[in-house]
Amino acid sequence: MTGIIFPLFFIGVEEPQTKRAFDSVYKQKYGRFDPVIHKINVSPQSKAMNEINNEAVQRNITEWSLWLSGDMILAESAIAWIDNYMRNIDPPNENTIEYTFGLWDTFLEEIICGCPLRRMDVYSNTIRKNVMRNDFYVRKELEKQGYEFKRPCKHAHAIGTHFDNPDEFQVFRRFKARGIKSRKNPKERNNYLKKLKRLRSKNSDNKLYEQAVSAFLFGFKKASFIGAHDITIDEIEYQHWKKNEVHDL
């Protein structure tokens, strides 16, 4: 099992968890990631993802490759669990293009689907547009072409953690984006807001939950920029939000 190797693409911005995330990449007990290619602090996010695809083409990386962000910290057994799942639990077929593995979100206190393993012979040919949820639109287009997406994250197993011990700016960016995404889906918006308020009541001594609710409402009601994640825009809107926090509807 020590011979298991996956390429790894590390994208995003500098997060409170980034050092631990990098460390977790190199502390795998049952295999290794090679090569490790990172695009940190490249904005907007769509640009970073397109640069990763271009580099995959240049390096002729066509095999299964893990995508990781700076707020994701892998368990030491992550590679082993991924390999076992693909070999023995749900092997890929010729049309399988992605597995999405679960992470324990320490802020939302639940397993989320957030750590994709992608077949780069196809994925490297995709282009992300500068829009929110660009991954969603790429996936829909690939599904139309007959490709299959597996979601072992639904089986309640986490290969790492997500959003552990965030700071205020990180909370703002995440939940502002979630608020923007909810604009066209009232049911999703109401359910997500209820979840945040429930967590706020449970964790009343942690002001970040109050700020998560406020940032969500800011994204839904006031955020003016709705493209892909862009750290420069986030910093501008963060300062605006701090002066004019949006509270409950």
| Same domain? 62 vs 157 | yes
Answer yes or no: do 97 and 151 share one domain: yes
Q: Are 75 and 159 in contact (CB under 8 A)?
A: yes
Distance between CA atoms of residues 249 and 232, nearest Å: 28
Q: Which domain holds residue 235?
A: 168-243
Is 248 a member of any domain? no
Report the alpha-carbon distance of residue 143 to residue 164 in Å, rounded.
32
Whether the predicted pLDDT of 156 surpasses 80: no
Which of 162, 190, 210 is at the close of a domain?
162
Residue 1 has pLDDT above 60, yes or no: no
Domain boundary among 139, 162, 185: 162
Residue tagged 């597995």 (tokens): 99
Residue 199 shares a structural domain with residue 79: no
Percent of the chain with pLDDT over 70: 96
Whether pLDDT at 225 is above 70 = no
CA nearest to 170, candidates 12, 8, 9? 12
Q: What is the mean pLDDT of residues 221-241?
A: 84
Long-range contacts made by residues 195-203, C-beta under 8 angstroms, separation at least 24? 195/108, 197/248, 199/107, 199/108, 199/109
In this structure, the number of other CB atoms found within 10 A of the CB of residue 60 comes to 10
Q: What share of the chain is helix, strand, coil (3-state, %, to 5)?
A: 45, 20, 30
Query: What is the reported pLDDT for 60?
Result: 95
In a domain, 249, yes or no: no
Whole-angstrom CA distances from 229 to 12, 22, 128 are: 9, 21, 12
Parallel, antiparallel or unpaired: strands 32-40 and 64-69: unpaired
Note the pLDDT tens digit of each residue in 188-204.
Answer: 999 999 999 999 999 99
Which string of DSSP letters, residue by residue, matches 133-149?
A: THHHHHHHHHHHTT-EE
Determine, yes or no, domain membership for 173.
yes
More confident residue, 34 or 246: 34
User: Domain count of the chain?
Assistant: 2
Pair (100, 132) in one structural domain = yes
Last residue of a domain, one of 162, 189, 222: 162
Q: Are 191 and 83 within one domain?
A: no
Confirm whether 172 is domain-assigned: yes
Residue 153 lies in a domain: yes
Residues 157 and 183 in one domain: no
Pair 14, 113 in one domain: yes
40, 153: one domain: yes
- pLDDT greater than 50 at residue 56: yes
Its pTM stands at: 0.93
> Same domain for 128 and 224?
no
Strand partners, 10: 38, 68
Angle at which helix 231-243 crosses helix 207-221, to 10 degrees, equals 110
- Tell me: do 72 and 116 sit in the same domain: yes
Contact criterion met (CB below 8 Å) for 35 and 91: no
Number of H helices, E strands in the chain: 9, 8
Q: Is residue 118 part of a domain?
A: yes
Same domain flag for 190 and 129: no
Any idea what the CATH number is for the domain that residue 75 is in? 3.90.550.10
Does 97 have pLDDT greater than 60?
yes
Alpha helices (runs of H) in the chain, residue ranges in sequence order: 18-25, 45-58, 78-84, 120-123, 134-144, 168-181, 186-202, 207-221, 231-243
pLDDT over threshold 70, residue 249? no
Residues 88 and 62 in one domain: yes
